[in-house]
Structure 1
Amino acid sequence: MSSPLARLRVRLAPTLRAAGIRPRLRLPRLTYALTRRPATPAAPFAELVRIESDPAYRALFCAELDAALHDRLATRTAVVEEIEAAAERLKALIRHGDHGRAA
């Protein structure tokens, strides 16, 4: 058996949904005005224009870009070294016949 509160909730749900739909159908402009929307984004090329027109900002942007590229290269190199080390460990396990033992 369900509780009286649960039954009431089940009975009220369609009514509450309909109450929410009616104002939306009858007052679409008001509903649109009250609906939250994300802020308008900046112009798509605003930062590019700033990079091209402001030498100080261009220098800062290029320095940050170089640092990000160096970090990416360092991360990539570290991952490749880890993969190569793991491959060497697997090759050593295969060569020495440690097939049955857990590492």
Structure 2
Amino acid sequence: MRAPIRLPVRIVLAAGAAEVHLRQRFPRIMWALTPHRPERDQPFAELQRIESDTAYRALFLARLDAAIAERSAEQAAELNAFVDAVEAAAEQLRNLVRPDNGERAA
């Protein structure tokens, strides 16, 4: 049976001190060399929570339905405002083409 390879304590302490020195001296380089978690883990974790937690899924779907209904109401209001603006413009064009006072259009 093999004995585990052990590094002398002094080498480990020297390596730790060198790392601290490098972090203080070159923070940007050391930050770039340090592994970081990808940013996409949070949305994936959210999806996993939606799939696994039924209460959270129900809350999420209720919020989603409310947001969809709110957006549909906003779109309907925008469409109604657009229709009103088009009808007002059409009425102005009708008045220009055939005035109500009996005069002919120029």
Structure 2-normalised TM-score?
Answer: 0.56
Letter matched to residue 27 of structure 2? T
Unaligned runs of 5+ in 1: 1-26, 99-103
Verify: 1:83 aligned to 2:79, yes or no. no
Corresponding residue number in structure 2 for 1:46: 45
Give the superposition deviation at 1:97. 1.0
Letter in structure 1 aligned against 2:66: A
Q: CA deviation at 1:61?
A: 0.1
Alignment of structure 1 residues 1-103 onto 2, 5 Å: 30-32=26-28, 33=30, 40=37, 41=39, 43=41, 44-97=43-96
Give how far 1:42 is off: 5.8
Please give the secondary structure, in 1, of the residue aligned with 2:96: coil
Distance 1:34 1:61 in 2: 36
Structure 1 residues 11-58: Cα deviation after superposition (integer angstroms, max 9, x where no partner): xxxxxxxxxxxxxxxx797132478xxx85361411110000000000
Say how many residue pairs are matched. Answer: 69
Q: Calculate percent identity across the aligned residue pairs.
A: 42
Displaced runs of 4+ in structure 1, greater than 2 A? Answer: 39-42
TM-score normalised by structure 1 residue count: 0.58
Gaps spanning 5+ residues in structure 2: where?
1-21, 98-106
* CA distance in 2: counterparts of 1:50 and 1:97, whole angstroms: 62
RMSD value, Cα:
2.8
Larger radius of gyration: 2
